[in-house]
Chain A
Amino acid sequence: MKNKKPKRNGSGDPRLDKVLKPYKGEPREMISMLQDIQDEYGFLPEDALRQVAVALGVPLPDVFGVATFYRMFRLNAPGRHTITACVGTACHVRGVPRVVDELSRTLGVEPGQTTPDGEYSLETVACLGCCAIGPVVVMDGVYHGQVNPQTARKLVKTPAKAKEVVKS
């Protein structure tokens, strides 16, 4: 199938149109498109997935297939704060499982879930590559090293005290 130009008038959502504007509408662009959508919305709304399928001229299940294959993509809106525990090997042997348990208990949700009030999402990540200072927990983009269950609990209670947000 020949590549189609994205139907920029089709989505009816100027926010989404703006995200998709730089793209040529080639299927190879799917992952970057989804990444940009998630950067904008914090997750992949269903309408956006449909729009990507139209823009790229590929079946919706293909888009869904990619969106569910990669760990970074989420199909539900995240909470206002995202707390991510690194569960890499170095963090594991230094006790991150107990940190995750404690966060889970404090927030009342399992990893991958968001609190019912929409405040916190608890996530785990395979490895953040800050192994020397593990266990590492990232709160809204701020990295915290050598976290233990007690300090993790405090982190949740005082979120916004930012040191340095690392953004790409």
Chain B
Amino acid sequence: MTATIKKLKDLTREKERIAKAREAYPFCITISSGTCGLAKGSGELVKAMQAAVKGLGLSKKVLVKSTGCHGFCDIEPVVHVAPQGILYQKVAPENAKEILSETVLRNNVLDKLLYTDPRSGQKVRYAQEIPFYKAQRRLLTKANDLVDPESIDDYIAIGGYRALAKALLEMNPEKVIDEAKKSRLRGRGGAGFPTGFKWEFCRRAKSDVKYVICNADEGDPGAYMDRSLLEGNPHSALEGMAIGAFAIGAREGIIYVRHEYPLAVRNIRQAVAQAKRRGLLGKNIFGSGFSFDVHIERGAGAFVCGEETALINSVQGLRGEPKQRPPFPAVRGLWGKPTNINNVETWASVPIIINKGGDWFARIGTEASGGTKIFSLVGKCAHTGLVEVPIGTSLREIIYNIGGGIKGEGDFKAVQTGGPSGGCLPRHLIDLPVDYDTLAKAGSIMGSGGMIVMDDSTCMVDVAKYFLNFLRNESCGKCLSCREGTQRLYEIVERICEGNGKEEDLDLLEELAQVVKDSSLCGLGQTAPNPVLSTLRYFRREYEAHIKDKRCPAGVCKSLIQYVIDGEKCIGCTLCMKQCPVNAITGELKKVHKVDSDKCIRCGVCVESCKPKAIFVV
């Protein structure tokens, strides 16, 4: 049944109808099936579970729901059994039947599928008891656990579109902007501009036509919260956009989403179509007289299109080259009309602010910045995934308490925040609170929320080289300083990594970095030197080791390392010899093997294949 929703009471009635239909099922099995989950086999698991439900004749008792990502990507695929509330991790299709026959029918917990807390060694039954979830404040991401992204009913069931109704029927645009200001919500894409003020600028611009855009061109490598939100709960961003459009006086919205996120594209397309069918987008929404329509543009793969003016050019079918600001998009944007751009996470925060009030939201974060922020905690961390915490939470809390510290035996060395515009923060800054201003002062940025944890096997010069390589490829080429500057910076760092660096290179890097910063038009160029400058600031010794000692302390830079076999540990199993793609290892069975450094290509396959861990890097 897909009744059109024309009035507030229709929404209320729909919510009740859906709730009633759900109550008919005593049990609900939820399987997380975002892109990460699918990569780990959740697609087959869903099919196996559906088949098992049918096979056991439970079709009228058990509802099988496939949702987006629950955040703890490390333990995917995750199965949640309701009403018991039990969480099973790393579930295989062959476990489907026993989950039904044991847990659902007999209330028995399957110990082997429970999560083990690595600190206590105890098995954990419920999600909220897992340390990864316990310390989070999941304002936005919680809905991902509950909502089938392909079902607008699921979103309505958790109170979806109630905020839009409230804004349209009980508030006026000024009041909406007021709440946004009170919430102290700042742009989650990275720049951190106060959202309420941004809306107000656009509202004040005089024009008959205005636009709102949802920036889902999440280009920062290492950040994927927008993908997760669009994949898992696409209606939340859509509802936020409609509220924002009402506030600034726009009737048309565009979602600009990366083509690299196929599932997000599919789910947001479906969500838009469903919302239109239900009358939650389109003409005269809730009978308020406000009309709003949305269409979707797929990005074509250009990092610079995360920049507002470049994104606008791209929507207009052009090369994504940025423009001089001012005029800001709020005055002259898409097709020369006032345009307001926010990213997915910002839009998805809006319904919460309208429902709960700006003051409530503001109390969660810091003095200068309200609410929560989602971080993608990845890299060498023990527990990787999406983490949502109040703004101002310390790096230590996020990396150690939620993330469980470093995976394996390594030591924490640095955390890279803010993607290619950000920087690397060293160990002694671990107690910094994560907010826009503190991280900027420390030489990085909070950015869109990427948090890549690095241990002592990560070479910071190599990380700088990595980002410069990324930026020289992604520079649109409009400004000479950015186009050539990032290229030259890359060449200097590359030669340092190859052992051909000179001592004066470090000063040259700093000087050139400053030029690129000062003389580039858009954010890409202005922040491009941050990865180099921050690593130089905190890890200068590592650069010096490469230059003076011709040594890569982390054992990463191929020109400066050699593989050596420890004669005492080698058991002479010949496995590494067989695996070596270039026959650089020689030896006989049960005798210590040897690596020929001239032949060796430093691929590391031998290290991974060696069971007694006899091969090491010098």
Contact = CB atoms under 8 A, between A and B. Distances in A.
B196 interface: no
A34 B320 CA distance: 15
A93 B452 contact: yes
B463 interface: yes
A30 B462 CA distance: 38
A6 interface: no
Contacts of B385: 132
Nearest to A148: B608
Interface string B272-312: 00000000000000000000000001101111000000000
Contact of A133 (B39, B262, B266, B601): B39
B189 interface: no
A167 B262 contact: yes
Interface stretch (B1-9, B78-86, B218-226, B357-365): B218-226
Which among A35, A105, A132 has the greatest number of chain B C-beta atoms within 10 A?
A132
Give the bracket for the number of chain B residues in contact with chain A: 35 or more
Contacts of B222: 88-90, 127, 131
B35 interface: yes
Nearest to A167: B262
Which among A28, A72, A89, A144 has the greatest number of chain B C-beta atoms within 10 A?
A89
B466 A92 contact: yes
Interface stretch (A10-18, A62-70, A114-122): A62-70
A32 to B, nearest CB: 7
Nearest to B320: A69
Contact of B314 (A31, A125, A126): A31
Contacts, number: 183
Interface residues of A, number: 50
Interface in A42-99: 65-66, 69-73, 87-90, 92-95, 98
A29 interface: yes
B36 interface: yes
A125 to B, nearest CB: 6
Contact of B40 (A70, A89, A145): A145
A9 to B, nearest CB: 24
Interface of A: 26-32, 34-35, 65-66, 69-73, 87-90, 92-95, 98, 101-102, 105, 125-134, 136, 143-145, 148-150, 163-164, 166-168
12 contacts: A28-B316, A35-B298, A35-B300, A66-B317, A71-B302, A89-B467, A98-B605, A101-B601, A105-B601, A127-B222, A131-B223, A133-B76
Interface of B: 35-36, 38-44, 73-74, 76, 218-224, 227, 259-266, 269, 297-298, 300-303, 314-320, 376-380, 384-386, 416, 419, 450, 452, 454, 458, 463, 466-467, 470, 474, 476, 579, 581, 601, 603-605, 608-609
